Structure 1
Amino acid sequence: MSTITEPSPVRTAAVPARRDTGFRPEVEGLRAVAVLLVAVYHIWFNRVSGGVDVFLFLTGFFITASLTRSVERSGGVRATHFLTRLARRLLPTAAVVAAGTLAAAYLWLPNSRRPAVFDETVASLLYYENWALAAKAVDYLARDGAPSPLQHFWSLSIQGQFYLLWLVLVAFAALLARTRGVRLREAVFLLCAMVFAVSLTYSLVTTDTRQAWAYFDTGARLWELAFGGMFALALPYLRLPTALRVPLGWFGLAALLSCGALLDVSTLFPGAIALWPVGAAACMILAGTTGLPYAVDRLLTWKPVMRLGAWSYALYLWHWPILVVYLHRTGRETATLAGGAAVLGLALVLAALTTWLVEGRVAAFAKRFPGRRWSLATASAFAVPLLALTLAAQHVYLQRNESADAELAALAADRETYPGAAVLTDPELAASLPEAPFIPPLDNVLDMPLIYDDGCDAGLDGSEATPCSYGDPDAEHVIALVGGSRIGHWFPAFHEAAENAGWRLVSLTKSGCQFSTEEPRNDDADQAASCVEWNGQVVDILDELRPDLVVTLATRAFPEGESAYPGFADRWRTLDEQGVQVLALRDLPRLDEPLPECLEQHEIAECTSSVATSRTLGDPAAAYPDVPSNVVFGDLVEYVCPDGTCPAVIGNILTFRDHSHMTATFSATLAPYVEDLVRRATGWQ
């Protein structure tokens, strides 16, 4: 006769010294302080405050406590119930703000920003925006992009990924409590502590070596949420005398307010220094509600502050897209006092309306129609139509972009209408130049050399040198184009010159890396190491290839000036030993600002930069000692920046795609001058 065995009950913790309640009024005030810090620092100081770290900490605090109580009540985490309720609470507001941002981008932002807005709307609604931004943060070719009006969704994406992970963690803790006889809260605390230790260690290492990536990396941020979970479980057992809680609360508030002012959060976090805002928030919660008129909780539980805390989610979502639109329309980097007040005021109004109309009405609906299906249906009603619309818009844009690429190629072939640099040397051509819209248009401004689509560039993180060959494979003369992206943007000119002259062209490039023996000046240790490895491989490839000519840089131009580098000359000496000739090009100037951004706000004539912005009066290459005899120096600046200025458009073609790289279309028009320079440098007929 079979019997039914009841599952072992989950062992709960002993009665805590202080009751564990779900609602803590002072936390609403803490939310208000955190969101105001985020908004104020963004709007007026163009800095990061540490307020987002408070939100991550609070998410870990509440979610850990909620899931633990769920197991204690029902024996399980009730995953579908938990996730559908979260979706009902979070997705409607997020979808409304995302829809408003899409509308604002269509009305007030340039067409060139739409593809990024489409991409990030999808990433935000599907909770992977942090990974999209992490990829952009380390993408050398995307670094000059304008700030996205949706990039603040990165923290929500981390929280969304945390919800899924914590369901598994608490469920595993419940399993341990049933099968191993440990208390549930002890098991959850132990697992939180393990995540905290592993994540913080990873964060320290990654922040030190790849801070731009670590800032958005869930693994490097998870310790902040785990710390919130540990604190939630420990808090009922922490009893401090009122005499200590009062100064502790004020200390926490002062520490939180000063964090963004004293630390450059955007370049230091999320390493151990992020314990500053997280610890400050913990101090304020530990201080609790004293009810004393001189305690910090008197401020935090003040009704206007608590109301602002209730609006904090919507305010966080609204303030950033409003700010991005304002900065673009005014052409400013930070807001004026009055302009910032208008941005914050509008964000507050929209946050209040969104909270009342969306969160309030949805909550009222949920009370009438409880259940997981209705919760999921409610969230889907807001998010799914917007997601479908955005995906459709993406598809349409991609199709248009493909046809635009074909149209661009056809227009660029018309050298009478689009002669580019040729107008600088042909007066008749310049005089007869017809009026025409410049190419590439701003909505197709990432006009890149072929080597990137062909996978020939190693990128910032790659270390493998990939030689790509173009032109006549049996050509008498072989040219190798070697260096970083500032050599890569010359590829279209050399490619067309090689096609015209019957040469073979080999590309060997790596973004952000120079052909040099010097240690790369890079804060990212992994990228610096990959550059060293790539250089070693390039030397071996060139030794085997033995090209007739290597084209590389002679100098580097930066906003702070132009310099020569001994490591460049070391490579030239190695090539001299291999019997290879070198054409060392002087670096082109950098513009005052990314050209597309300037043209989106100003007339063409206003977007001219001076050569002197990033170039010295004399050529720094003249200072190289003992230049080997195989080196010839070249400078083609007169065909890009004539008469000491860099125009936005030459011969109806946009010159730069950002602030330091030529468009591929314009670069191709430099082919005749490149060919002439090569022939003069080598003596080839």
Structure 2
Amino acid sequence: MAWSPSVFPPVTVARAESTSARPSGATGYRSDLDGLRGLAIGLVVVFHVWFGRVSGGVDVFLVLSGFFFTGLLLRRAESGEIGWAWQVVRRTARRLVPAMAVVLAGVVVATMLMLPYTQWSDVATQTLASLLFAQNWELALSWADYLAADPSVSPLQHLWSMSVQGQFYVLVLLVVAVCARSARVRPYVGVIVIAAAAASFVYAGRGVATQQGWNYYDTFARGWELLAGAALAVVAPYLSLPRWLRGPAAVFGIAGVVLCGWVIADGANRFPGPAALLPVCAAAAVIMSVSNVAPGEWGAANRLLAHPAMRWLGDIAYPLYLWHWPILIFFLTERDSAGVDLLGGVGVIAVSLAVAWLTHQWIELPLREKRSRPGVFVRRLVLTTVSMLVAAVVTVAAVWQFAVGHASPPRTAELAVNEYPGAEALAGNASTPDAPMRPTVLDAGDDLPPPTLDGCIADWNTRAVITCTYGDPDAERTIAMAGSSHVEHWLPALQVLATQHSFRIQVYLKMGCPLTLAEDATYAGESIPDCRDWSREVVERLAADRPDWVFTIGTRPRDAGGDETPPEYLDVWSALSAHGLNVVTMRDTPWLRRDSGRYRATDCLAAGGDRISCGMRRTDALAPVSPQLEPASRFPSIFPIDLSDAVCTPTVCAVVEGNILVYHDEHHLTATYARSLAGPLGRTLGPVLGWW
């Protein structure tokens, strides 16, 4: 499935129950904000089901959450009530944890029934991260190390937003608790909130331009949206718009919320940067429109939001948010589809509404019952059930992680060649006896090339050029490997050749970054300006270090199928040639794709597929003729090579050859298969290098 992890919105958990800070005598219950929450969750669900893009609901929820929670803290702190902070913690935990525990338990069960066991570890990790309110950092780190990123979207990936809010609640609670020691708690909190919001806004704007994949999940980048709501809560007692401005403010706010997803089509690549001002200001406009105004004086827009249908949707917003995403993901998994048609989408929404209402009725409402005897009994029953679910979820997730983490992987580096010919089964016609596949689907994720294991490849957030030496460090001849992880995964093969023929290998590697001088360098739709700057420095370093040969990648896959040599690669070839460097360009290996969505070989095999059915047709993976041949002919110092016949047959690119698993994910070779490519690579490189 080709769903971006950047389109999952958070949900506010605070309700509008008397939380509008107000001067004495004003009617404060904001039922229109219940409706605003309902409108936002409706947009979130619809955009997820049919459009797969950001709706702006994320930002609306964050503003409302910051407004409600900070307002609650300020009123409790100003009341002088003893133990108010602990009461707020208990109240918030009762709202957050029970419904989440039910959803997590449901997802764990569905995962074991519907997903291949190769994905269980990812779900287990994210389950524990969600319970600890650290899911956003788990996803941010997965983006920073894209070898860990799973192209099949997790049914729990949306819970990053709950982690952001949970972390915010802890921080703002501490701030208000400290400021409450003074009689001027509100002014002190206001100064801190405004200063922190300004810093967060600047930080988020910079993150959009430098590391958006991380920025989207970063609590510090998201903070300004929550703090905008917090600032409104601070000034709420003194906030009242002129009568003539109330209606236009509410209309602007509703229009901004509804139209945001259409006006800002690439919100996943721009939020929470300055572009997020539209939904944030829209939510703020609705909050301010009738602040400290009695409902009888509200305009038509606010009355529309306060309609019972909108308020009902707002009441179930939290469980609806929790449920709709996993229901959608499991529906797509069952259908083996990357999209939802009209009827299927209606079904997903109907089921999500039903289970959200049941969760609201049987989990959320009983925990708010008055302390009558039946209410106390039901509350205790719900709390006991939730506690058992939490214990069960933690136990299952931890046991699975422990079992997988302590399994003894086979020593794939010492496989017998006669049993595991690997690439030689294709390139050298070696016989393939019956033997278990190595590495196994569970071990494949750890079958990585040395630079990844040694920290010798720069990750997404590392701008510095990192170099390491492999092969024979004392050799007089040097090959420099420069580019992305698709250059890196050829290192095990070159290491074998370096041992045989005595040469040094110097690596200049960065994740997701083929050498490029383009101003708009991207990976998976995300801007990576560090790649451009890193590439320029690498070219300068190569010109200074003067290796005998530079080894890099000369093609990339096309979204429409096949592969290509893009113009920016030619710019790099020109720059390297201008420095008098000889360059070997390797045709990239096929990326496993179906319907434009990438998939992992290990997941397909674990789900019951075989080496052929989990592979790709060669015509879908590769162009009939290597696209680098023609442009390379214009550069005397560029030498293109192609080992596709050592990975694919004339008709299919299978995922297992010569008893060795070819891919450890959806597009990287296992180190074991790469070592088996040493023979074909040596026979191809020999005439080019002239070293053997």
Please tell me whether the aligned partners of residues 435 and 659 of structure 2 are also in contact (alpha carbons under 8 angstroms).
Answer: yes
Residues 635-684 of structure 1, C-alpha deviations (whole Å, 9 max, x = no match): 22222234265333333434334444323232222111111123222333
Quick check: 603-612 or 354-363, which moved more? 603-612
Partner of 2:12: none
Pair 1:336 & 2:349 matched: no
**Cα separation, 2, equivalents of 1:603 and 1:213:** 35
- CA deviation string 1:449-470 (max 9, x = no partner): 2221122212233244444444
Question: 1:50 matched to which residue of 2?
Answer: 56
**1:160 CA displacement:** 0.8
C-alpha separation in 2, matches of 1:366 and 1:681 = 83
In 1, Cα distance between equivalents of 2:225 and 2:283: 11
Identify the residue that residue 525 of structure 1 maps to in structure 2. 529
| 1:362 match | 367
Q: Is structure 2 residue 407 aligned with structure 1 residue 406? A: no
- CA shift for structure 1 position 335: 1.3
**Residue identity opposite 1:125 in structure 2:** L
Q: Are 1:451 and 2:444 matched, yes or no?
A: no
AA of the residue aligned to 1:634: I
Deviations for 1:426-454, whole angstroms, at most 9, x for unmatched residues? 4562xxx4566654444444342222112
Q: Which amino acid aligns with 2:340?
A: A
Note if contact 2:493-2:676 (Cα within 8 Å) is conserved in structure 1.
yes
**CA 1:673 to 1:394, structure 2 compared with 1: closer, same or farther past 3 Å?**
same
Distance across 2 between alignment mates of 1:573 and 1:676: 29
- Indicate the SS of the match to 2:152: coil
Aligned 1:175-574 pairs, distance under 5 A? 175=181, 177-178=182-183, 183-240=184-241, 244-263=245-264, 264-288=266-290, 290=295, 295-364=300-369, 383-400=390-407, 403=408, 405-406=409-410, 408-409=412-413, 413-427=415-429, 429=431, 433-434=432-433, 438-446=437-445, 447-473=447-473, 478-501=478-501, 503-515=503-515, 521-522=521-522, 523-537=527-541, 539-540=543-544, 542-543=545-546, 546=547, 548-559=548-559, 561-563=564-566, 564-574=569-579
Q: Cα distance 1:532–1:26, how it changes in 2: closer, same or farther (>3 A)?
A: same
Cα contact 1:189–1:230 (8 A) shared by 2: yes
CA separation of 1:157 and 1:376: change in aligned 2, threshold 3 A: farther
User: Unpaired segments of 5 or more residues in structure 2?
Assistant: 1-20
Partners of 2:85 and 2:177 within 8 A in 1: no
Distance 2:154 2:139 in 1: 10
**CA–CA separation in structure 2 for the residues paired with 1:366 and 1:159:** 29
2:676 matches 1:674? no
Q: Structure 1: which 5+ runs fail to align?
A: 1-13
Residue in 2 that maps onto 1:97: 103
Aligned to 2:17: none
Stretch moving more, 98-107 or 237-246: 237-246
Instruction: Give the distance between the partners of 1:612 and 1:335, measured in 2 at CA.
Output: 24
Supply the AA of the counterpart residue of 1:275. Answer: L
CA distance, structure 2, for counterparts of residue 565 and residue 206 of structure 1: 29
Partner Cα distance (1:365, 1:109) in 2: 42
Q: Deviations over 1:57-99 (max 9, x none)?
A: 1111111111111111116783322222211221111122112
Equivalent residue of 2:461, what SS?
coil
SS in structure 1 of the partner of residue 508 of structure 2:
strand
Q: Residues 526-675 of structure 1: matches in 2 within 5 Å? A: 526-537=530-541, 539-540=543-544, 542-543=545-546, 546=547, 548-559=548-559, 561-563=564-566, 564-574=569-579, 576=581, 582-592=583-593, 593-596=597-600, 599=604, 604-606=611-613, 607-611=615-619, 615=623, 617=625, 619-624=627-632, 627-628=635-636, 631-643=638-650, 645-675=652-682
- Counterpart AA for 1:649: V
Question: For this pair of structures, how many residues does the alignment match?
Answer: 646
Contact kept, 8 Å, 1:519 with 1:532, in 2: the verdict is: no
Q: Distance in 1 between matches of 2:298 and 2:175?
A: 41
Q: Distance in 2 between matches of 1:574 and 1:15?
A: 70
Helix, strand or coil at the partner of 2:78: helix
Cα drift, residue 471 of structure 1: 4.2
- For 1:130 and 1:611, the matched residues in 2 are separated by 39
The answer on whether the counterparts of 2:22 and 2:236 sit within 8 Å (CA) in structure 1 is no
> 1:246–1:459: structure 2 CA closer, same or farther, 3 Å change rule?
closer
Q: Check whether the contact 2:164–2:219 (CA below 8 A) recurs between aligned residues.
A: yes
Higher radius of gyration, 1 or 2: 1
User: What SS is found at the alignment partner of 1:140?
Assistant: coil
Instruction: Classify the secondary structure of the residue corresponding to 1:233.
Output: helix
Alpha-carbon distance in structure 2 between the residues aligned to 1:211 and 1:223: 16
1 CA distance for matches of 2:475 and 2:187?
Answer: 73
C-alpha RMSD of the superposition: 3.4
In 2, are the aligned partners of 1:292 and 1:298 still within 8 Å (CA)?
no
CA distance in 2, matches of 1:339, 1:173: 51
* Structure 2 CA distance for partners of 1:63 and 1:46, relative to 1, 3 Å: same
How far apart, in 2, do the equivalents of 1:359 and 1:518 lie? 53
| 1:268–1:582 distance in 2 versus 1, CA, 3 Å | closer
Amino acid of the structure 2 residue aligned with 1:490: W
1:114 Cα deviation from its structure 2 partner: 1.2
- The 1:424–1:388 alpha-carbon spacing in structure 2 relative to 1, beyond 3 Å, is closer
Q: Is this contact kept in 1: 2:108–2:393, CA < 8 A?
A: no
Task: State the Cα distance separating 1:167 from its structure 2 match.
Answer: 1.6
Aligned partners of 1:15 and 1:43: how far apart in 2?
A: 39
Q: CA deviation at 1:358?
A: 1.9
Distance 1:493 1:85 in 2: 59
Equivalents in 2 of 1:675, 1:437: separation in Å? 27
Distance 1:376 1:347, change over 3 A: closer
| Deviation of 1:292 (Å) | 8.2
CA contact (8 A) 1:144 1:594 kept: no
Which residue pairs with 2:8 in the alignment? none
- State the match for 1:138 in structure 2: 144
3-state DSSP of counterpart to 1:643: coil
Return 377-386 or 106-115, whichever deviates more. Answer: 377-386
Of residues 563-572 and 190-199 in structure 1, the stretch that sits farther from structure 2 once superposed is 563-572
Distance across 1 between alignment mates of 2:534 and 2:551: 21
Query: Relative to structure 1, is the Cα distance of residues 272 and 566 closer, same or farther in structure 2, using a 3 angstrom cutoff?
Result: closer
Contact persistence 2:557–2:621 (CA under 8 A): no
**Matches of 1:376 and 1:346 in 2, distance apart?**
23
The answer to which structure has the higher helix fraction is 1
What residue number does 1:147 align with? 153
Q: Determine the C-alpha separation between the residues in 2 that align with 1:679 and 1:380.
A: 65
Q: Which amino acid aligns with 1:333?
A: A
Name the SS for the 2:512 alignment partner.
coil
Distance 1:17-1:72 versus aligned 2 partners, 3 A rule: closer
- The whole-number CA distance in structure 2 between the counterparts of 1:516 and 1:227 is 39
Cα 1:166–1:683 change in 2 (3 A) is same
**Cα deviation per residue 1:403-435 (whole Å; 9 max; x = unaligned)?**
2x326556xx24444432222244562xxx456
Change (3 A) 1:292 1:77: same
Q: Match of 1:80, as an amino acid?
A: W
Q: Distance in 1 between matches of 2:146 and 2:340?
A: 28
- Whichever residue aligns with residue 42 of structure 1, its letter is H
- Provide TM-score, normalisation by structure 2: 0.84
Over the matched positions of the two proteins, sequence identity in percent amounts to 35
Which one-letter code corresponds to 2:144 in the other structure? V
Structure 1 residues 285, 614: closer, same or farther in 2, change over 3 A? farther
Q: For 1:11-50, what per-residue CA distance to the aligned partner results, in whole angstroms no more than 9, with x for missing partners?
A: xxx98376374x4222222221111111111111111211
Separation in 1, partners of 2:358, 2:552: 58
Indicate yes or no: 2:32 matched with 1:19: no
Native 8 Å contact 1:76 1:174 kept in 2: no
* Aligned residue type for 1:332: S
Change (3 A) 1:376 1:134: farther
Counterpart of 2:232 in structure 1: which amino acid? F
For the residue of structure 2 that corresponds to 1:565, the secondary structure is: helix
